[in-house]
Structure 1
Amino acid sequence: MPLSLEEAAAIAAQKETTHTTARATVQGMEEHLYTAIPVLDHGFIRVIDYMGDDSAITQAARVSYGKGTKSVSNDEGLIRYLMRHWHSTPFEMCEVKLHVKLPVFVARQWIRHRTANVNEYSARYSILDREFYIPAPEHLAAQSSTNNQGRGDVLQGEEAQRVLDYLRDDSIRAYDHYEAMLGTEDQQGLARELARMNLPANIYTQWYWKVDLHNLFHFLRLRADAHAQYEIRVYAEAICDVVKDWVPAAYAAFEDYRLGGAQLSAKGVAALKRMLAGEQMDAEKAGMTKGEWREFEALLA
């Protein structure tokens, strides 16, 4: 289960507590507050706090541009203009704080996004739970033959079962030894900060992650992309659903220009113009490498 009975009770108590505030609130985010959204087999995300809404973005933009925005007659149009022209600071006026439970190897990818405030559960002071990410069979895949960072065909039959057995057995064995090293009433045991080094990368950790909307959109553009690793992509997709309820106009612009949009190089633009003029193009004519041409063709497809 993603949440223990104690955690569920604590969340229920938090949701029952109400406060009167004069600040801007968003009903969609109010409904998300504290509620755990399950991700993977034991993980979750939940909104702890947030600041700002769509109007905070346009408010900041109008202070910055003044009369320059008079031609933009509504907030949605202004937000689309800001997104289209890569104006980032107005989006920094909104922030969200998330509580995330995730496997350690996913956390190591996630933390590469350094433009956030993070506080992680410490295995120096506390004992980690016996919870590991074990992939569902449909997510067990071989190495891609064309992409060093990607997956190929899904493993089948005995090979898939062999891998699952290794993952499960090794995780259990490592945690058993971790517990044994911590010591009992009969032995002193190893310090927690040392015993943790024996744990596998699929064990779950937790952190609080606070980020502004501009940097969150950058995270989502990379991690909610279809080419992102599945295990981090499902977290990004869950966050997308939350952001959609928080800043609907900003998210719609982000979805249009970033998630659903595309960026072409100068060579790509030139090649596309020649193709529209009826010319048959290939990598050599376009002056692209094979990899660039493959990605260009995939983009057009």
Structure 2
Amino acid sequence: MPLTPDQIAEIESQRANPRPTLRAVSDGMEAHLYRAHQVLDHGFIRVIDYMGDDAAIVQAARVSYGAGTKHVQNDEGLIRYLMRHWHSTPFEMCEVKLHVKLPVFVARQWIRHRTANVNEYSARYSILDREFYIPAPEQLAAQSTVNNQGRGEVLSGAEAARVLETLKRDAAQCYDDYEAMLSQDGQQGLARELARMNLPMNIYTQWYWKTDLHNLFHFLRLRADAHAQYEIRVYAEAISACVKDWVPLAYAAFEDYRMGGVTLSAKAIAVLKRRLAGEAVEQADSGMSKGEWREFCEVWG
């Protein structure tokens, strides 16, 4: 169950008592406040608070760049100009705070995005719940033969069943041992900060994660990408849906220039020019490595 009955009651209580405010408000984001969006089997993301909107980005840019932006006729055009030319500070004027429940191995990937404020549930003080991420059968895949970081062919039949059984058995056994080691039922037991080291990486943790829009876009560009690991990508996709409602103009520019665009190396530009001139160019005479050439061909054919 992603949310406990107490958490659901708290959320409904908070949503039932709106307060007037003089600060900038995004109607799209207000609809997401406190609501939990389920991710994976036991996880979720929910917006706890936010600051700013599309107008805050424009406001900051016009203070920062002054006369240099007067030729831009509207807010959308200015935001697209900022995104297109990699201006970052105006997007830092918007912030969001999320409550996220996620498997520990996903959290360890996520925390590599260091430009954020994080406070995680502490297993030194509290006992973790018996909740584990168990992949759906269609997510059980062998190692990719092309990408060292990716997945290849989906497992099936007896092999898939064997892996699922192993995951479930090991998670249950580790948690049973964790409970047995804790101080309870009159036993002296082991301290929680030590007993937790026996828990598996697929157990769920929770944290509050606060970041600005510039760094959030960087997170989404990497983690909502089709090449990202599925288990973190679905979190990024859930966050993307909230961001799209929060700052629609900025998100549209982000989709266009970051998610939908590509960055070309000098060698790639040279190859495109040669192709446009009618020359047949192959990897051997492109100046690119095999990996670069494969990625180039995925986009340009």
Deviation at 1:300, TM superposition (A): 1.2
* Amino-acid identity (%): 76
After the TM superposition, which residues 33-72 of structure 1 pair with which residues of structure 2 at under 5 Å, given as runs? 33-72=33-72
- Alignment partner, residue 213 of structure 2: 213
After the TM superposition, which residues 257-268 of structure 1 pair with which residues of structure 2 at under 5 Å, given as runs? 257-268=257-268
- Alignment partner, residue 237 of structure 1: 237
SS of the residue corresponding to residue 31 of structure 2 reads: helix
- Alignment partner, residue 224 of structure 2: 224
Is 1:169 equivalent to 2:169 in the alignment?
A: yes
Amino acid at match of 1:93: M
2-side partners of 1:21 and 1:45: how far apart? Answer: 25
Is 1:193 equivalent to 2:158 in the alignment?
A: no
Amino acid at match of 2:5: L
2-side partners of 1:20 and 1:186: how far apart? Answer: 52
Deviation at 1:92, TM superposition (A): 0.2
- Alignment partner, residue 111 of structure 1: 111
Deviates more, 1:275-284 or 1:213-222: 275-284
SS of the residue corresponding to residue 32 of structure 1 reads: coil
Unaligned runs of 5+ in 1: none
2-side partners of 1:287 and 1:297: how far apart? Answer: 14
Deviation at 1:283, TM superposition (A): 1.3
1:45-83 deviation per Cα after TM superposition (whole angstroms, max 9, x unaligned): 000000000000000000011111111000000000000
Amino acid at match of 2:135: P
Amino acid at match of 2:168: R
- Alignment partner, residue 159 of structure 1: 159
1:201-245 deviation per Cα after TM superposition (whole angstroms, max 9, x unaligned): 000000000000000000000000000000000000000000000
SS of the residue corresponding to residue 46 of structure 2 reads: strand
Is 1:181 equivalent to 2:181 in the alignment?
A: yes
TM-score normalised per structure 1: 0.99
Q: How many residues align?
A: 301
Amino acid at match of 2:252: A
TM-score normalised per structure 2: 0.99
1-side partners of 2:241 and 2:186: how far apart? Answer: 50
Structure 1 residue runs of 4+, over 6 Å off? Answer: none
- Alignment partner, residue 32 of structure 1: 32
Deviation at 1:185, TM superposition (A): 2.2
- Alignment partner, residue 23 of structure 2: 23
